[in-house]
Amino acid sequence: MVKILLIEDEKAVRLLTKAKLKDKYEILEAANGEEALDVIDSVKVDLIIADIMMPEMNGYEFVEELRAAEDYTPVIMLTAMDTFEHKKKGFSLGIDDYLTKPINYEELEWHIEAILRRAKINSDKEIVVGEFHLSEDTKTAIYKGESIDLTDIEFKLIHKFLSYPSVIFTKQQIMDDVWGYDSDSDYNTIKTYINRLRNKFADCGEFEIVSVRGVGYKAVIN
């Protein structure tokens, strides 16, 4: 069973979260970052869910310590602090996802499954959807044995969508993750690249990139 380490200083939140997830995952607990590091020293976990505001060692400090030790276990940061600056700091330290409280546990499970799938993809270095293959090592796309040329930006986009099928990415998320926080590009640039990908994969029936009106885009596996 997948092992998840839950780092949360409020006992009631830990108990409720554990109760919601324990049927699918083995949940380990820690009340702060220092306790969490002790757990990680003795047990291999598959994913970490961490609060930010905790005594002894907060969530930011924990992630910084974790990544400094070259431990790349996926981290979902779960917190009531949802400003752009807080999110930016978390991602700059190396978190993999960011959800805000109050917790929607169904949504949390979606994100957990997406992160675990992404971790497997990182390990395998390849995404396979039917007869479509996307290789991170060679930055190539192959469909039915035929290579499809992709620019660096196009590869990053399709890799992001297929790493998290059915997950909706806002235009701002796409801009930040693919072009960078300090990019001068605008949302029309995203639309241009999405259209390019749709044209390049027009004959590929394994998936499609779908527009979500007023929000962003997602990949749908057929």
Taking only the tens place, the pLDDT of each residue in 126-154 is 888 889 999 887 888 999 999 999 999 99
Rg (CA), the chain: 19
As a whole number, the mean pLDDT across the chain is: 87
Each residue's pLDDT tens digit, 156-196: 999 988 887 887 888 888 988 888 877 788 899 999 999 99
Is 123's pLDDT higher than 60?
no
Q: Options 3.40.50.300, 3.40.50.2300, 2.60.120.10, 3.30.930.10; which CATH number does 3-120 get?
A: 3.40.50.2300
Distance CA 193, CA 199 (A): 10
pTM exceeds 0.85, yes or no: no
Count of helix runs (H) and strand runs (E) in the chain: 8, 12
Give every CB contact of residue 208 below 8 A, 6+ residues apart in sequence. Answer: 198, 201, 219, 220, 222
Q: Which two tokens stand for residue 72?
A: 């790349």
pLDDT at 185: 84
Question: Sorting pLDDT into bands at 50, 70 and 90, what band is 124?
Answer: low
Report the CATH architecture of 125-221: Orthogonal Bundle (1.10)
